[in-house]
Amino acid sequence: MSSSLFSWFQLSLGFLGVIGLFLLFIGIIVLIAIKKKKQSQDIKINIKNLNEIYKENKDKILKEILSESELKEISKQEKLEEKEKKKLEKSDSKSDVKTEKPKRIFVLDFNGDVAASAVTVFREQVTTLLQTARPCDEVVVRLESPGGMVHAYGLASSQLARIKDQKIPLTICVDKVAASGGYMMACLADKIIAAPFAILGSIGVIASLPNLNKLLHKNDIDYLEITAGEYKRTLTPLGEITEKKKAKFQEQIDDVHELFKSHVQKYRNIVDIQVVATGEYWYGIKALEIKLVDELKTSDDYLLEASKQFEVYQIYTPKKESLREKLSGSVNSIISTAIEKNLTKAENKYPLFM
């Protein structure tokens, strides 16, 4: 193969790579836009009492393991407790002394992707919640997110700030991950609870892109980009990389990082920002030591314990599966089962440890 033909082959591959990345990026944006439009058109807010669900599940087990006489005794005791509770409520209503209304706990979920697309539903849930929640109540957000786009997570964080502005106590539970944009949200909480091996932190900013400018020059192809404003574009996939452009791009990244650090300091001033804002992440056990979290516990334990004293309500939006998603789920299930069988065989031969 001649050198010129090889160069054209390289160029073709390069162009195909850039075009592929560009189309993939556009495709993701379009899919997210369609998803957001559908969600905003039909967002239904539902609520369920977690106390009732806990009791129902508990009763199912008790019916299997206890005798009839033991079940009757438990039922009798529960009726007496309920009667005493109603009697107390009745006497309080007749009394001239104003008694404090019982605390309620409202539970929300935020499962974040790169574009924080869950904010479309989350903001509607927060709006609904703020019409009924009182300062004596508590809002618990079960948060899972590795972070993503700055502006998207800025909006998601603003939804939590709305709760704070109403003086309603906010607790955030992290069972798996709240990193980067996820921690941008988490730091607004009055109390952060994390599982021991949950990933937290990553208070940093990153940006990267491929550049084919040298490949274009090598094949005598000019790239024209017309802008108005000195820094309308700094680094691009096809434009020339200059020290001035690199410096400006770094300056922009540093500015965002400073905003991120200021945000964390504002809402969680107990952390040493010089220690935690290095872009590193930590597991829950270490995160507790450096004050990124306040307590080590799963959201399951926190809510179960809370339900023994207070009424706990989950606010959620039911997800409707399309026919495509149902078919896709079935195919994935078949593939996963096949892979799992092969992995099990391999693990039996070559076990892994961690």
Contacts of 128 by beta carbon, 8 Å cutoff, 6+ apart? 45, 315
- Block residue for tokens 């799992």: 340
User: Active site includes 180?
Assistant: yes
Among 178, 39, 184, smallest CA distance to 121 is for 39
Q: How many CB atoms lie within 10 A of CB 229?
A: 6
Pairing state between β 138-144 and 170-174: parallel
**Radius of gyration in angstroms for the set of CA atoms belonging to the chain, rounded to a whole number:** 27
DSSP code for 99: P
Nearest to 133 by CA among 173, 105, 155: 105
Q: Which two tokens stand for residue 353?
A: 């440890």
| Residue 128 contacts residue 45 (beta carbons within 8 Å) | yes
Q: 60, 167, 232, 320: which is the annotated catalytic residue?
A: 232
Structure tokens at 108: 């929300």
Partners of 315 in beta bridges: 47
C-beta separation of 156 from 116 below 8 A? yes
Helix (DSSP H) and strand (DSSP E) numbers for the chain: 12, 10
From 117, 145, 180, 299, the catalytic residue: 180
Decide if 152 contacts 116 (C-beta within 8 A): yes
Helix axes 3-41, 119-130, angle to 10 degrees: 20
Asked about 95 being catalytic, the answer comes back as no
Tell me how far apart the alpha carbons of residues 248 and 233 are, in angstroms, rounded to a whole number.
Answer: 10
Active site residues: 180, 232
